[in-house]
Structure 1
């Protein structure tokens, strides 16, 4: 961002002093009248004392000229009052326009004919993070970073040269480095001769709408995949039941040990693995049967952490923190343990080469409408108290291209034989069954943070909770 010049900029229209129409009327009407009257008196004295009234008719002529000037003075007064009224109406309209521009939610930017910024409204400062004094005097071509400069340079150069209006969506950096996706409308302002006097740029931040749209598409995609996977898994489970049953009956009729018995035992092992895979698919599609009871979330979490401390390698340090105040959540303890184990295992695998710290934190948070609005993955949550489980690692991070596919079944970036690609899919299914939500933040080379939000309940521990999700 180029720095602005030190030249002072005019104040907004709404703060400029109003004109003084009454002073205008005084100087244009009453002051000339006083001058004419004074000149008449001087002329009268001159005629009286110099010519001793010998040229009395000059005095009368001056009186007649003064009387003839009165209608003209009245006409001028009337039109000056009309002009004053029009000026007042114009000033009122300008004040309303200036107030509207300064208070609109859209970003407004005005430049001179060469593209140097003359004015930005408060919305521009709020959305982009750039204060006005850093922007004024800067050329609009320099408002974007070099990485995004070429995407819109041609359009702006053409608009500055010819005044051609255009609408387009541009990625632009905020002051903190985040990327804004803005819809830009560029228009040229011309005078009565058609010469360009300035350019007006109106921008709307579409980042939030794009995030919500992408999240909706991803949710619909996962819903469709879940429906398909659930149907296939259900039918496949019925086939596996027959395979397991007849294999077991056949094994009962065979001698032990025997080659046929050993072969069928391998079939049983493989079929049980397939059955476990089907169970995970049903969990992802939320078709597995389960009952939820109000429990403190810290109980299954602490049990899982104890197990993790025993199996994690020495170069990975596990840190856990729990909130001093905790409300209960309606949960299936076994599913919660499975969810935590899957998330922590993924986090540990991302640090298997470099090591690092794996942080697990549980705390109560108040989810409000603003938080839901600012985080598309939280759209299905209801405002109110929630328990938030955070799992943070210092691993390799997740590439942006893979983040939208994290929870798809069978999607994995691991090498062959190191994973089925169902770990995070199962996590997603468990969270959806518990009427919660999950968010992901990741930076390549620095690590990732998964946050799980589960709504709290106020019920006795022996009361099962009916899920509103599909089961």
Structure 2
């Protein structure tokens, strides 16, 4: 151990005293040994030198040891970061706030540490990115962060630095971004090099306040306005330095009538980074004035439309249909959206906008353009008919534009193709619904008449035998009545009020069942082609009605092919699989996006003219010769498809053929349906021979008379009533009946209301409703579940007798 080490180990005051005494003793021994003062002095100097060296070596080690045991003094740090111009915060690796100055607390509080502050989402992302850069690279920054909630309106910049002996802390410095005075910043530039550069390019520049007073200007502006480049025009009325001729062209006032036209550009001087939209009514504007033909790039154009290229570049990409027209009515340019809305995407814009409209609208459009071009700046609309869409007027907007040379009128046109298509669909659906309601009402009344005719014919046939002179005539009347009844069923099908008995089935099976009939219907000249997709989903529909759909479409296709010529043609019937993804790709707003099985019927006939395509599903609309069609075929198809929950569309090209596509939703059975399929059905009693007492309620006299005679002849005791009130009075009077046979729709009290009141007295009394409306529609309106049966009109004498017998047999168990 050397002497220096011995000195470094001197730690406590006692050690220091012992060393001092040892030194004195050593000096005494040297004096006793030598007796010379010089020797003692030299020894003392050596001891002093060694002590100084030891003290120097021991001092830093002692300071280092002391620093390892003393905790950081954050009060000193707080004093060091106390600033009035920036918020300072220190966070540790756990993201906790360990220290912050007063300004940080006033701005953000101490509940949260950066980067988790009350900022908008974009600012939080920028601040978090700066923090990650600080830990990774030692520093980071966020140029702009904006407050929200309690800090709304605040705008700051942030810097972050990694610090600490172990790089365990981040020091955040957040400074407010002061709003810049762009006008004040711009004024020196107008007086400097920027103003001189603009003057050399032939452009005069000035800053004008909202009240029209000049705040600052370039020397070139003063030169052009007054002839003296050193003139001071601050506070001068800007418009007093300009003049406007009869054609609204601008020029310098000092040039008088010989002044060259000017093009004016103006830009509101507002901070583009402001979170709030600036108020342009209180914002100064930078105004640039250039002679016509001098663009901002120094180019020249002799046609006096220097602003048009710039406007075209701005307006071209917009989705709004916009076009510019000069004072003579010539089209200067039109963006693609305008040409698309006008139905003229190919070939570019026309010479005149009047070339886009029909002949009758050319004059009014030309007059409107002239009026807006020459009058005061204003805007308005005019209804015109485009050449490609002459049936549907469109609204064309016009706005007079000033200060753009010859570019005088701005035209606006919106693509209304989709809107027009939706309007037609809504109008068609509304019309079809109204016609359907009318058809259902007509069918109901007609069925009452046919019931009386058929019943009377049946009674007459009972008194005549085959071979009788009147027998054949009665049969002819009955046959024509049945044909009329078929027409009423078609009306009910169109109005979606017919009685359907849906089943779960496969479309290919239905097509297969009806194929043999189709071959006979279409004849030898027409080739029948049938194709099917694989993995078709089952549908739920009435198979008989679906066969009627196929037959009606096939008959129409046959007539279209034979009308085209005697060379024959091809009829294709196909079934296709359409998934929900396929429907989504069709971009239709009509069909729900579910799985469908489609029936496609396509022919090579004459096709359907475009003006007839929207009317083909209307009842009694036909293009066939008189006497060759009722006009109910396609309307019946439409009603059956709609009542089955499907959709039907027609696509046709005149002269090339027609394709009908029927979409039926795929049926996925529920648990109740699966259970019902497993259950064993109970057979209904087929007949009754025990007689009974019948209450017959019918408001139509002729129908009531036929039904009474038919039931009396079948052995029943019949009591009649002309409406529901009379029938209820009979039951309340104590009369006993085995069955009530009632019409549904009657004046005053209808059939269902009467039945509900009767059930209060006789809960088990069965009711047989007879009506010309559909059974499904009536059951939705009748809230009587048990013991209710239905007989559709028109019916024959035999049918009403059999139905009454079946109902009594079911109610009495045999």
Normalized against structure 2, the TM-score is what? 0.42
Matched, 1:281 2:491: yes
Q: 2:607·2:653 contact (CA, 8 Å) conserved in 1?
A: yes
What residue number does 1:163 align with? Answer: 372
Whole-angstrom distance in 2 between the partners of 1:337 and 1:188: 63
The within-5 A match list for 1:78-93 is 86=269
Distance 1:340 1:223 in 2: 23
Residue 615 of structure 2 is aligned to residue 418 of structure 1: no
Larger radius of gyration: 2
User: Given that residues 172 and 181 in structure 1 are in contact (C-alpha distance below 8 angstroms), is that contact kept between their aligned partners in structure 2?
Assistant: no
Match of 2:322 in 1: 108
- Residue in structure 2 matched with residue 61 of structure 1 by the alignment: none
Shift of the alpha carbon at 1:317? 2.3
Instruction: Trace 1:287-436 onto structure 2 (pairs within 5 A).
Output: 287-353=497-563, 354=565, 355-365=568-578, 366-368=582-584, 371-373=587-589, 379=590, 381-436=591-646
Q: 1:118 to 1:251 in 2, by over 3 A?
A: same
Q: Cα distance, 1:185 vs. partner?
A: 1.0
Query: Which whole-Å CA distance do the structure 2 matches of 1:212 and 1:433 have between them?
Result: 22
Contact 2:312 / 2:333 at 8 angstroms: preserved in 1?
no
Does residue 402 of structure 2 align to residue 190 of structure 1? Answer: yes
Are the equivalent residues in 1 in contact too, given 2:355–2:362 (CA < 8 A)? no
**Cα distance change, pair 162–245 in 1 and its aligned pair in 2 (3 A):** closer
Q: In the TM superposition, what are the counterparts of 1:73-222 in structure 2 within 5 Å?
A: 86=269, 101=315, 104-124=318-338, 127=341, 134-135=347-348, 138-141=350-353, 144=356, 148-163=357-372, 166-173=381-388, 182-191=394-403, 196-222=406-432
Superposed CA offset, 1:286-318 (max 9, x none): 222112223222221233334212332333222
Instruction: Give the paired residue count.
Output: 385
Q: Which residue of 2 aligns with 1:27?
A: 193
Q: CA deviation at 1:346?
A: 0.6
Partners of 2:603 and 2:630 in 1: CA distance: 21
SS of the counterpart of 1:412?
Answer: coil
Q: CA deviation at 1:426?
A: 0.7
CA shift in 2, pair 1:125/1:408, >3 Å:
closer
Unmatched tracts of structure 2, length 5 or more: 1-185, 198-229, 234-265, 273-284, 287-306, 374-379, 678-773, 779-814
Question: RMSD value over aligned CA atoms?
Answer: 4.1
Alpha-carbon distance between aligned partners in 2 of 1:131 and 1:266, rounded to the nearest angstrom: 63
CA distance in 1 between partners of 2:268 and 2:475 (Å)? 101
The structure where helix makes up a greater share of residues is 1
Secondary structure of 1:282's partner? helix
Q: Is the contact made by 1:309 and 1:318 (CA closer than 8 Å) also made in structure 2?
A: yes
Q: Which moved more, 1:391-400 or 1:286-295?
A: 391-400
TM-score by length of 1: 0.69
Structure of higher RCO (CA pairs closer than 8 Å, 6+ residues apart)? 1
Relative to structure 1, the CA distance from residue 256 to residue 308 in structure 2 (aligned partners, 3 Å threshold; closer, same or farther) is closer
Matches of 1:27 and 1:197, distance apart in 2: 33
Distance 2:550 2:387 in 1: 38
